[in-house]
Amino acid sequence: MSITATDSTSRHPAIRSTTLFWGAALAGLVVLFVVASQFPVLDDPRREFLLPFARWISDGMDFLVDDLSFGLFTFEDLTRAIAFVLSLPLLALTSLLASGWTLPFSEIEVAPLPWFAVVAAMVFMGWRIGGGKLAALMFASFAYLAIFDQWQSAMITLSSVLVAVPIGIVFGLGLGILAYKHSGSERVISPLLDLMQTVPVFAYLLPVLVLFGFGQVSAMIATIIYAMPPMVRVTIVALRSVPGDLLEFGDMAGCTARQMLWRIELPAARDSLMVGVNQVVMLSLNMVIIASMIGAGGLGRDVLTSLKRLAIGDALEAGVAITLLAIAIDRLSQAFANRARMKRPKRSQDRTRVPLSTPAGFVAILLIGALITALAPSLAIYPRALVLDTGPFWDELIRLINVHLYDTLDAIKAFLLIWVMIPLKRLLVEAPWMAVAAGVALIGWRLSGLRLAATLFAMAAFIAFTGNWEKAMISVYLCGTSVVIACLIGIPIGVWSAASARARGVISVVIDTLQTLPSFVYLIPVVMLFQVGDFSAMIAIVLYALAPAVRYTDHGLRQVPGETIEAATMAGCTPAQILWRVKLPLATPHIMLGVNQTIMMALSMLVITALVGTSDLGQEVYIALTRANVGMGIVAGLCVAFLAMTADRLIGAWAAERRRRLHLA
């Protein structure tokens, strides 16, 4: 009671001063708007004011590639050596799975592993690790690859993923351990990770492209770089959350530092570490299509080329193949993690039933398959006659949809474009950068302090003086609209999911699947229905960014303490009152983290939507990629990262403030 009493006395003056402050601020900004639009420097700096960051970066890159030398060898030799080392396992796996190889010192051609043996081996592994259900999933996924004629591409993709994943895990784990053990190195690693996760993927395709050339190996390197950061982060967090008494026990048992790490900390953290492993797998597969832009073959290239030709059916088939591959590997690795956790004495019975260990059986099946094809080479390839092609079906379906639903779809599209998207776009594009930056800095100052305000302003100035202001504002508008729509859809679904166990079951399956889809796949149906353009981009972004809004809302509502809800119930609250007055306020900081995550996902999708013809920063990065212009790509990438950081810092500061006010720890 006393709290409300003091609150009501102190709140009114506070409200008045806040209103006054924002009123004055708004007036100031309007004035700034009008004045600034008269001066190009303050409105949108043109050529004469720009800082040539892009030039400097490109020159630096040229220096690295052409001139840098370590005495005995040049920088280029170094990158060549790295590429060569990485190419060996990749070559071995690709030969084994996809292309076959020639025996050394002879002319004998060895065929790749036959499709039926690989399918059988995967089914066997699924059965041993996860039982009948997983075996069925394995069969469905791998049989799909054969039946829909995706086998060859899928095996190329699989081999590069199988090389990239272990490397990503080992390096991620190593860096994570380093950061955990030496707080000094963490101070370097942590901001680097922040940057790597906010810079759009395309941006670091560029340096990789320049340093390692176009091809399967550089695609793999880019994949590793992209997939590794979560592993580092997860490792740090997992090791930090090893219970203190286990460490004390380790000390008392007389463990050396090495024993402590390998025998206590890493095993105790293994459940969390598996999350990181899973992330590496998923991100590697997510990267498959993007990596094909710098030379990865396989399914990624199939999707990309089909998409460019607008051959929706082909793109869809290859896209589904990637998705199935992702789901299969994901479930397999999860089942593996669960099995490691639940090793129970029962295993002795299993052993007697099948007198064969899982790896041995796996290899045996592959060998038998290879032997069969050596005797009957015609079996190696899935029979042409049995291939299904759904391309014509999809093309026909789209034709039908366009014929019958065109008016409806077009009406929706036109309405949103005319009444929401275009006005917003014009407002943002026409606002002088100075006014926008000042407004953002002001909010930052109120939420946190001068330091945040200065950071935000500096980032805005960077965007303006590298000549990317207009494109950045188009990005903001596209992302902003998408995020708002994603939240409008996602948060209520999250609320529903938290309220009903049955709804949650269905929703979590859908959300899991959405998150398994590589981001490119979202583009396919959208382009099918809405052609290229901003509207399609927005729909794709909304679909892609929906998941965190749902998930965090659900989680935030669920973690409201049961006792608090019981107290509210006993105070006579209706369910609606409990939701609005207790659960939602307490869950807001959590939900805002979800919104934050939604913004991050939206920005990362933004770059990919460049393929459907947007004119924002994403397009800028994509153009830089096609021209191999490192400076331009990195600068545009940094601009995207700065947008992401601005949103992140503002929401972070707001959530911290909010938590403080709610007295949540």
Partner 1 sequence: MIEASALKPNTEPDTREDAQPATKLSCRNLWKIFGDEREVHDLVRKSGGVPDPAAIDRAGLSAGVRDASIDVREGEIFVIMGLSGSGKSTIIRCLSMLLQPTAGELFFEDRDLLACSRKELIELRRHKMGMVFQHFALLPHLSVLRNVAFPLEVQGVDRARSEEKAREMIALVGLESREEDFPDALSGGQQQRVGIARSLATEPELWFLDEPFSALDPLIRREMQDEFLRLQRVLHKSIVFITHDFDEAIRIADRIAIMNHGEIVQIGTPEDLVVRPADAYVEEFTRAVSRSKVLSARTLMESHDAAADHAGEIGASERVSEFAARVVEETRPFAVVDKHRRPIGQISREAVISVLAEG
Residues making contact with partner 1 (CB under 8 A) = 243, 245-246, 248-249, 251-256, 259, 263-264, 267-268, 270, 343-345
Q: By C-beta, is 85 or 340 nearer to partner 1?
A: 340
| Min dist. Cβ of residue 244 to partner 1 (A) | 9
Query: How far is 356 from 121, CA to CA, in rounded Å?
Result: 13
Counting every residue written for the chain, the total comes to 665
DSSP of 551-567 = HHHHHHHHTS-HHHHHH
Of 355, 494, 496, 389, the closest CA to residue 147 belongs to 389
| Min dist. Cβ of residue 265 to partner 1 (A) | 11
| Min dist. Cβ of residue 344 to partner 1 (A) | 7
Token pair, residue 48, equals: 């004469």
Query: How far is 306 from 316, CA to CA, in rounded Å?
Result: 9
Query: How far is 665 from 656, CA to CA, in rounded Å?
Result: 10
Q: By C-beta, is 267 or 492 nearer to partner 1?
A: 267
Query: How far is 407 from 398, CA to CA, in rounded Å?
Result: 14
| Min dist. Cβ of residue 258 to partner 1 (A) | 10
Q: By C-beta, is 344 or 384 nearer to partner 1?
A: 344
Q: Would you tell me the crossing angle of helices 312-341 and 115-147 to the nearest 10 degrees?
A: 130
Q: By C-beta, is 251 or 566 nearer to partner 1?
A: 251
| Min dist. Cβ of residue 351 to partner 1 (A) | 14
Q: By C-beta, is 344 or 502 nearer to partner 1?
A: 344
Q: By C-beta, is 254 or 383 nearer to partner 1?
A: 254
| Min dist. Cβ of residue 465 to partner 1 (A) | 42
Residues 6+ apart with CB under 8 A from 64: 75, 211
| Min dist. Cβ of residue 431 to partner 1 (A) | 47
Q: By C-beta, is 265 or 620 nearer to partner 1?
A: 265
| Min dist. Cβ of residue 518 to partner 1 (A) | 33
Query: How far is 8 from 167, CA to CA, in rounded Å?
Result: 59
In 10 A of CB 586, how many CB atoms?
Answer: 18
| Min dist. Cβ of residue 247 to partner 1 (A) | 9
Residues 6+ apart with CB under 8 A from 418: none
| Min dist. Cβ of residue 65 to partner 1 (A) | 47
- In DSSP terms, which residues pair with 102 in a beta bridge? 109
Q: By C-beta, is 340 or 364 nearer to partner 1?
A: 340
Q: By C-beta, is 7 or 251 nearer to partner 1?
A: 251
Q: By C-beta, is 345 or 561 nearer to partner 1?
A: 345
Distances, alpha carbon 174 to alpha carbons 122, 170, 180, 189, in Å: 30, 6, 10, 12
| Min dist. Cβ of residue 553 to partner 1 (A) | 31
Token pair, residue 130, equals: 């996860």
In 10 A of CB 96, how many CB atoms?
Answer: 18
Sign of CA dihedral 518, 523, 526, 528: negative
Q: By C-beta, is 343 or 384 nearer to partner 1?
A: 343
Residue found under tokens 């960014």: 545
Q: By C-beta, is 263 or 659 nearer to partner 1?
A: 263
Q: By C-beta, is 268 or 651 nearer to partner 1?
A: 268
Which value, to the nearest 10 degrees, does the dihedral of the CA atoms of residues 223, 226, 231, 237 take?
Answer: 180
Identity at 8, one-letter amino acid code: S
Token pair, residue 185, equals: 């190195």
Token pair, residue 21, equals: 């402050």
- Do the Cβ atoms of 129 and 335 come closer than 8 Å? yes
- Do the Cβ atoms of 286 and 230 come closer than 8 Å? no
Identity at 513, one-letter amino acid code: T
Distances, alpha carbon 319 to alpha carbons 312, 332, 579, 638, in Å: 10, 20, 40, 29
- Do the Cβ atoms of 542 and 482 come closer than 8 Å? yes
